[in-house]
Amino acid sequence: MSSTPGIKPIPASKPAPTPLPQAKPTELLHDQYSFLAANLHPVILLSGLALSFNRLVQDPVMTLARAAPVVIILQALYCFLCLPSTGQAPPQPKNKWKKQAKPSQDFGARAVPAFLSLLLTITLTIPALFLVLIFFGAPLTTHQAHTILLAAHLGLLATPQLFYVHGLDVRVWMQAASLQLPLDEVYGMSLGAVLGAWFGAVPIPLDWDREWQRWPVTVLVGVYVGACLGKVVGGYLVKGWRVKLN
Amino acid sequence: MAPRRRRTTAALALANLLLPLALLVFATGFFPYKPVLPGLAGWDEEDWADAAGAGVGVGAGVKMGEDAPFDKLVFMVVDALRSDFVFGKGGRMGFVQSLIREGSAIPFTAHATPPTVTMPRVKALTTGGVPGFLDLILNFAEGDGEGGAGGELGGVDSWLAQLRRKGLGLGLGLGGEEGETQGGTDGGLVFYGDDTWLKLFPGEFFGRAEGTSSFFVSDFTQVDTNVTRHLPSELLPPSSTKPEWTALITHYLGLDHIGHKTGPAGPAMLPKQREMDAVFRLLYEAVEAQAHLRDTLIVLVGDHGMNAGGNHGGSGPGETEPALVFASPKFASPREAPAEPREGTEFEFYRKVQQSDVVPTLAGLLGFPVPRNSLGVVLGEVCEGLLGAEGWGRLLRRNARQVRGVVEAGLGAERWRGLVEGFEERVRKGGCEGVADGEEEEMACLWARAVGLKGLEGEAEALLAFLYKAQDALSSTASSYDVPRMGAGIAIAGGSLLLAVLAFPVLWPPTLAGCALTAVTGLYGVMMFASSYVEEEQHFWYWTTPAWLALLAVRSLQQGGSRLSLPNGLSVPRALLVIPLLASHRLMLRWNQTGQKHAGAPDVAHAFFPDHHILMWLAVLGTYLLVGAQLTRSSFKGVLAAEAAVSTAFVMVLPAVVFKLNFTQADAPELVLGLGERVRAFTAGLDLVAQARVVFVMLVLATGIVVVGSTWKNEKTSAKEAKITLADRLHPLLTLFLVTQTRAPNVPLFFLLELQRSCFARLLLPPTPNPNSKSHSQALPIALTSLLLSQTTYFAFGGSNSISSIDLSNAYNGVADYNIVAVGILLFAGNWAGAVWWCSAAVTLLLPRPESPAQSKVGSRAWVAQERAKLRTDAAGSAPEAGGDGEEGSSPWMIHITATTVFSAGSLVAVMAACTLLRTHLFIWTVFSPKYLYAMAWAVGWHLIVSVGLGWALWGCGGVV
Ligand SMILES: [Zn+2]
């Protein structure tokens, strides 16, 4: 951390007391459905985006509003099918081809957190993300519906899986906000969505006069592409890495 | 340690010395200096020979030029008179339109080449030359008494000089060099209107003249009545008090002011057009009725147009399409007056010609040699009918010979003769089609063809072909780029960039701020190649700044460290300071809509404040109050007794507020609306110049008191008392100066800036209270922060990369007689106020100061001092190679300057490379060359003078370490 120019490296003498055990990268549930569903997930999201792109350009508000329930269900299914919920013991390696003992037993233990995750996303993160979008330059006096729906999609892609996996522990969320969680496909997807939203703003000022340069099409595409890219990169390429700023 | 420090310092110094050199070398290649042919043109032998056949000249009864149809000229310039104001169905110049239908007026749309600001346009209209972008700088910086190569045209050939010589009966011999004027006070030329003309033609050039100033664009009527009131007496027969004139020139500014203030559709626009129509009618009817004005030609011309927002400077739609009308009862060619522009154009109602074409046309109609540097082509519609076929042919030959002179001057007479001889054979066999060697060859061939056809049918057509080709080739500067020089400029800037990078004491491993600086510089460089990003540059800074703020917050969270205690006893992570930072940033970027794409969209300064002017003045007063509080609490603290500090601050801020109120009443009365009437009445006796001087003198005095007082005090203060650095003391004074240079709607932005600075002071605090790491580890983040916010605030204050966004309104504060240095400083401070402010703010952030309550405790400070002393002895004791360059290697300020040098050099390389690679691009003169001028201003004004110069002074003064 001491790579600042002109300064002698100072050894970090007193590491901060860690009240929280170092978070480990999230592992997927170990059954063939999870694996399949987890890999189908980005494909479905991206093909959905590609299929509805023209409608999105024509009528962003209507298209985004109609797509939102679909995304909610998709994200709930993803959490339900692929991810270990809060407090659940890390999945034990099992023989993939052996049928799980009693799938119906933990149905409730997985469905309820999935439902709660989506509920928290809608009530907590979407309003917060709306504010963040405004802070980062989204129009305030016009296009409110556009921005709210953009925040909704950003929130839906970035947060339910975090709620599902990490629960409501403020300390974990502080770690998530300060980029201190280890990268995995859950966190990668969240970061990817946020970064994608930021990069999605790049083409707007160009003088190409295309319909799709209108708010919020490019940002939304950035969110989706970023989320899927982040999920794949975080889940496979850089799994377990940690972001260090200095 | 010493050699290393010396090495980095030398690299940094060299990098900064190379910057202006790179700018200069590149500019000489990019804006080539065009030689101006000296002296006034005269009649030459060929003219005499040509004329002899027509019974004019020596021996014949008629003198050269006496056979011309006109001997007097009325030249009526209406600033920003766009074509459609005169010709369109929405225009209100009905009398001019009726003359066009009758045939007594001949209309054109005259193309004004960018830069479409008044001074270069007047140059084009009078000399016929094509002023380049360097004239643009002179438009803002023309000075009295500068040499002829600068702004003045007194010694340059123009129709004014020719008419003056003719009117005063001065030497009109062969050669043209003789016949120097001897400063006659005769009524040769008469001028009323925009004083730009008086700066261009200074001294005794005009027999009678009165200038009006375009200083306050809120003046719609006075500037014009001050012109019109002279006209009735000027149109009377000459008398002993008012001798006869040869040319009566007027330049009306009101219409341009209305455009700037309210746009082309503003409520005052149509009445103003009617007023201009009435003036034109007055002139025309006088010419019709009065015998002594029988041979008078009237020209109505706009120097440039205006865009949809009412501004001008670039080449947007409407800016380059002013109207041009020649009128006289002698003309008789009735034509239809279309109400709509031609298909596919917005402002072309009639044939589109060049503004420079006015010059040879006047030479033909009034009978004087075509001015030497003209690139104009005579207008057949105007001349042919009155001169007859023979006279028209003679005029064309004169025009062509004169243009050939310009071509020869550029190519060299030898080379030109060689080229022409090479084509003589060819043109005998056929035409010049298919000469694809180059523009010079084409011109030579067309000339050879025209010479070959002398006296034959088709000569006129051949001469016109040569003239238009030459005009086209010589007007476009594309052929005259000096690409090797431009390359050399890029290479020097690249060298400067390399040296600046090497001047970083540590390059590897990179830090967050280092990576961010690299990314910002790199992305900015790429962006410079896209014209739309150059036009909309603000988006880049509005986009990167919040991301950097978020990164700073994340970094602060990761580092942990001291928390922010709230008044109610709670404490929160310092990262939460990002919320007020982001909120103020978001508010600022809506303050002034800038850029081209959404120009004129509603914003705080132009849409909200005019409707809520009381709210604006409350915010303005709040800002002044804050400055006053800062003056008391930091500037004068300890220097003056508490009561004296308060009253001094009050005495300083009060005249500044009064000046702002009075200035706004003059500049933008719609924002005052009867507010503070008593104050304004009370101060009415003191003019604005004096009021501004009061503010400036107070600032100078206060700066003196603070510098002397704090130095004297610091010597006496014990270490126990918290010191306020001199940089901290001077910062409020600089703020007051910048606020004075800022338009009222933008003043509250300084409140937001101050908020941002205090947030940064806490957010950028190091996690551990290590005195050594404090400034050093934060130097690069502070540099990047100040860079991002300098740029952001520049655009938030309404700046852009377009010439039309330069705000001249505060450039003359306190300046009575023109002073180029003072106006330059005030102009820069007015347009770069936020950027200059951040330079000073960065120094105050860099300097260690007792900020958090824990650190300001006496015990803690003693500990700091001890620790620092210990580290210093440690560093001195250790071997230089062992990385002992911490404290002594580079001061935080050096790192700061290294970072801004890297960005300045990097952005210059990109802008120069873009200008070189895209030199044939359609937008080179409208987007990329203005950007180069702005890049120069950023590199020299902001980086070298303010960031390095002022920053060095402040850092040196504040030198606590
Ligand atoms: Zn103007």
User: Which of B400-414, B442-456, B651-665, B865-879 comes out lowest in average pLDDT?
Assistant: B865-879
Contact B134/A at CB under 8 A: no
Range of weakest confidence among B356-365, B466-475, B529-538 = B466-475
Nearest CA in chain B to A137: B586
Region of B313 on the Ramachandran plot (φ > 0 left; ψ -120 to 50 alpha; else beta): left
Ligand 1 midpoint to CA B127 (Å) = 21
Task: Measure CB to CB from residue A207 to each of B532, B543, B560 and give the nearest one.
Answer: B532
Q: Report CA(B823)–ligand 1 centroid distance (Å).
A: 18
Contact assignment for B770 to A135 by CB distance below 8 Å? no
Q: What is the pLDDT of residue B579?
A: 94
Give the number of other CB atoms < 10 A from CB of residue B914. 25
User: What pLDDT, on a 0 to 100 scale, did the predictor assign at position A17?
Assistant: 44
CA proximity to A76, closest of A127, A125, A110: A110
Residue of A nearest to B587 (CA): A135
Q: Which helix (H) or strand (E) holds B751?
A: helix B749-763
CB atoms within 10 A of CB A145: 13
B 825-854 residues with CB < 8 A to A: none
Q: What is the mean pLDDT of chain A?
A: 82
Cβ-contact A59, A96 below 8 angstroms:
no
Is A12 domain-assigned? no
E strands, B99-241, in order = 105-111, 189-194, 208-212
Distance from CA of B876 to the nearest CA of A (A): 13
Number of H helices, E strands in chain B: 37, 10
Residue of B nearest to A8 (CA): B886
φ, ψ at B288 (rounded to 5°): -65, -40
With cut-offs at 50, 70 and 90, classify the pLDDT of residue B357.
very high
Sign of the alpha-carbon torsion through A152, A155, A161, A164: negative
Q: In this predicted structure, what is the pLDDT of residue B505? A: 82
Q: How many CB atoms lie within 10 A of CB B141?
A: 16
Q: How far is residue B752's CA from residue B587's CA, in Å, rounded to a whole number?
A: 9
- What pLDDT does B677 receive? 84
DSSP letter (8 states) at residue B529: T
Report the gap between the CA of B910 and the closest CA in chain A (Å): 19
- What is the spatial distance between Cα A153 and Cα A128, in angstroms, rounded to a whole number? 13
- Closest to B230 measured CA to CA, from B280, B185, B193, B277: B193
pLDDT in the model for residue B140 = 55
In this structure, the strands spanning B105-111 and B323-327 are antiparallel
Give the residue among A93, A84, A7, A48 at the shortest CA–CA distance from B885.
A7
Least trusted range by pLDDT, from A157-171, A196-210, B431-445, B551-565: B431-445
| B884–chain A Cβ distance below 8 A for any pair | yes
Q: B71-170+178-377: CATH homologous superfamily?
A: Alkaline Phosphatase, subunit A (3.40.720.10)
Residue A147 lies in a domain: yes
Residue type at position B900: T
Q: Strand B352-354's sheet: what is its strand order?
A: B208-212, B189-194, B247-252, B72-78, B296-301, B323-327, B105-111, B352-354
The pLDDT, as a whole number, for residue B230 is: 92
- Spell out which residues of chain A touch residue B509, defining contact as CB-CB under 8 Å: 3
User: Smallest Cβ distance to B554: which of A2, A8, A245?
Assistant: A245
Paired with B82 in beta bridges are B322
Q: What is the pLDDT of residues A72-109, one digit of tens each?
A: 999 999 988 888 877 555 555 444 444 444 454 567 77
User: Across A232-246, B372-386, B663-677, which has the greatest mean pLDDT?
Assistant: B372-386
In whole angstroms, give the CA distance from residue B286 to residue B662.
42
User: For B221-247, what is each residue's pLDDT tens digit?
Assistant: 888 999 999 999 999 888 877 788 889
- Whether A16 is in a domain gets the answer no
Q: How far is A118 from chain B (nearest CA, A)?
A: 26
Q: How much is the mean pLDDT over chain B? A: 83
Asked if the model's pLDDT at residue B175 lies above 70, the reply is no
Contact B586 A204 (CB under 8 A): no
Q: So what's the pLDDT on residue B173?
A: 40
pLDDT confidence band for B58 (50 / 70 / 90):
low
Residue-level pLDDT at B254: 92
Tell me, what's the pLDDT at A187? 92
Structure tokens of A77?
A: 């299914």
Cα distance between the two ends of chain B: 17
Cα(A178)–Cα(B835) distance, rounded to whole angstroms?
A: 30
pLDDT at B543 over 50: yes
Summarize pLDDT for A67-76 with one digit per residue, the tens: 999 999 999 9
Note whether A178 and A235 are within 8 A (CB). no
Task: Report the distance separating Cα B498 and Cα B492, nearest Å.
Answer: 10
Q: What is the pLDDT of residues A165-179, one digit of tens each?
A: 888 888 888 888 888
Instruction: For residue A151, tell me if it sits in a domain.
Output: yes
C-alpha B309 – ligand 1 centre gap (Å): 11
For residues A3 and A52, which has the higher predicted lDDT (pLDDT)? Answer: A52
pLDDT beyond 50 at B881: no
Q: For B251, list phi and psi in degrees, rounded to 5.
A: -135, 105
> For residue B182, what pLDDT band results from cuts at 50, 70 and 90?
very low
pLDDT of residue B339: 74
pLDDT higher than 50, residue B616: yes
CA–CA dist B760, B549 (Å, integer):
10
Gap between the Cα atoms of B136 and B151, Å rounded: 10
pLDDT over 70 (residue A146): yes
Using alpha carbons, list the distances in angstroms from residue B371 to B36, B37, B111, B130. 11, 10, 20, 13
What pairs with residue B212 in β-bridges? Answer: B194
Confirm if B29 and B478 have CB atoms less than 8 A apart. no
Cβ neighbours of A3 in B, within 8 Å: 506, 508-511
In this prediction, residue B716 has a pLDDT band, given cuts at 50, 70 and 90, of: low
Query: Of A120, A122, A154, A121, which is closest to residue A136 (Cα–Cα)?
Result: A154
- The pLDDT assigned to B558 comes to 83
Domain boundaries, chain B: 2-25+485-958, 71-170+178-377, 387-476
Chain A CB within 8 Å of residue B780 CB: yes
Q: Which of A146, A152, A163 is nearest to A129 (CA)?
A: A152
pLDDT value of position B23: 94
Q: Is the confidence at residue A124, as pLDDT, over 60? A: yes
Q: How does residue B861 score in pLDDT terms, banded at 50, 70 and 90?
A: very low
Over pLDDT 90: what percentage of chain B?
Answer: 40
Task: Calculate the dihedral angle through the C-alpha atoms of A114, A115, A118, A120, rounding to the nearest 10 degrees.
Answer: -110
Average pLDDT over residues B703-719: 77
Residue with tokens 């402040």: B954
Q: Work out how many CB contacts closer than 8 A connect A with B.
A: 107
Coil, strand or helix at B297 = strand
Contact of B779 with chain A, judged by CB distance below 8 Å, is answered with yes
pLDDT, tens digit, for every residue of B123-152?
889 988 877 666 666 555 443 333 333 446
* Rounded Cα gap, residues B917 and B905, in angstroms: 18
Is the separation of the CB atoms in B340 and B367 below 8 Å? no
- Distance from C-alpha of B383 to C-alpha of B392, rounded to nearest angstrom: 7
Question: pLDDT category, B169, cuts 50, 70, 90?
Answer: low
pLDDT digits (tens, 9 = 90+) for B314-335: 777 788 899 999 999 999 877 7
pLDDT digits 0-9 by tens, B196-206: 888 888 878 88
Residues forming beta bridges with residue B108, ordered by sequence position:
B324
For residue B502, the chain A residue with the least C-alpha distance is A5
Cβ <8 Å between B506 and A3: yes
DSSP label of B37:
P
> B135, B335 in Cβ contact below 8 A?
no
**CA–CA separation, B193 vs B212, rounded Å?**
5
With CA atoms as reference, report the closest residue to B958 among B699, B745, B722, B710. Answer: B710
What confidence score (pLDDT) does residue B142 get?
A: 41
pLDDT above 70 coverage of chain B, percent: 85
For β-strands B105-111 and B352-354, DSSP reports them as parallel
Q: Rounded CA gap, B814 and B808, in Å? A: 14
Distance (Å) from CA B805 to ligand 1 centroid? 11
- Least confidently predicted of A93-102, B377-386, B562-571, B624-633: A93-102
Give the span between the Cα atoms of B538 and B518, in whole angstroms: 19
Over residues A127-141, mean pLDDT:
92
Beta bridge partners of B297: B73
Specify the number of domains making up chain A.
1
For residue B761, give both structure tokens.
């002071």
- The string of DSSP codes covering B357-389 is GHHHHHHHHHT-PPPTT------HHHHHHHHHH
Closest CA to B851 of B790, B916, B763: B763
Q: Which residue has the tokens 């400055």?
A: B627
A8 burial level (CB within 10 Å; 0-12, 13-18, 19+)? buried
Of B506, B551, B585, the CB nearest to A6: B506
Cβ atoms of residues B314 and B129 within 8 Å? no
- Coil, strand or helix: which one is A83? coil
Distance in angstroms (rounded) separating the CA atoms of residues B284 and B96: 10
pLDDT of the residue at B186: 54
Residues B631-652, mean pLDDT to the nearest whole number:
90
Task: Summarize pLDDT for B236-289 with one digit per residue, the tens.
Answer: 888 877 788 889 999 999 999 898 888 888 888 999 999 999 999 999 999 999
For the residues B193-222, what does the mean pLDDT come to?
Answer: 84
Distance CA B601, CA B358 (A): 38
The interface pTM score, or ipTM, of the predicted complex is: 0.87
Residues of chain A in contact with residue B591, where contact means CB-CB under 8 angstroms, are none
Q: What distance in Å separates the CA atoms of residue B499 and residue B63, rounded to the nearest whole number? A: 68
Residue B220 pLDDT level (bands cut at 50, 70, 90): confident
Query: Over B232-277, what HEC string results?
Result: HHHHCCCCCCCCCCCEEEEEECHHHHHHHHHCCCCCCHHHHHHHHH
For residue A4, is pLDDT > 70?
no
> In the prediction, which pLDDT does B46 show?
76
- Picking from B539, B597, B885, the nearest residue to A6 by CB comes out as B885
Q: Look at the alpha carbons of A123, A128, A134, A136 in this order and tell me if their dihedral is positive or negative.
A: negative
**Taking Cα atoms as reference points, which of B104, B130, B772, B38 lies closest to residue B409?**
B38
Show the domain range for A154: 34-86+105-237
DSSP per position, B467-508: HHHHHHHHH-GGGG--HHHHHHHHHHHHHHHHHHHHTSS--S
In a mutagenesis test of the A interface, which of B502, B539, B578 is the best target, namely the one with the most A β-carbons within 10 Å?
B539
Please provide the size of chain A in residues: 246
Cβ distance B512 to A245 less than 8 Å, yes or no, reads yes
Distance CA B308, CA B599 (A): 9
The residue that leads in pLDDT, B608 or B181, is: B608
**Chain B residues 887-926 with a CB less than 8 Å from chain A:** 889-890, 892, 895
For B5, name the nearest residue in chain A, comparing CA atoms only: A6
pLDDT tens column, B905-940:
999 999 999 999 988 877 887 788 889 999 999 999
Grade residue B614 by pLDDT with cuts at 50, 70 and 90: very high
Residues in chain B: 961
Percent of chain A with pLDDT over 90: 40
Q: Quick check: B586 and A244 CB within 8 A?
A: no
Structure tokens, B343: 């298909």
Nearest residue to B319 (alpha-carbon basis) of B593, B100, B94, B79: B79
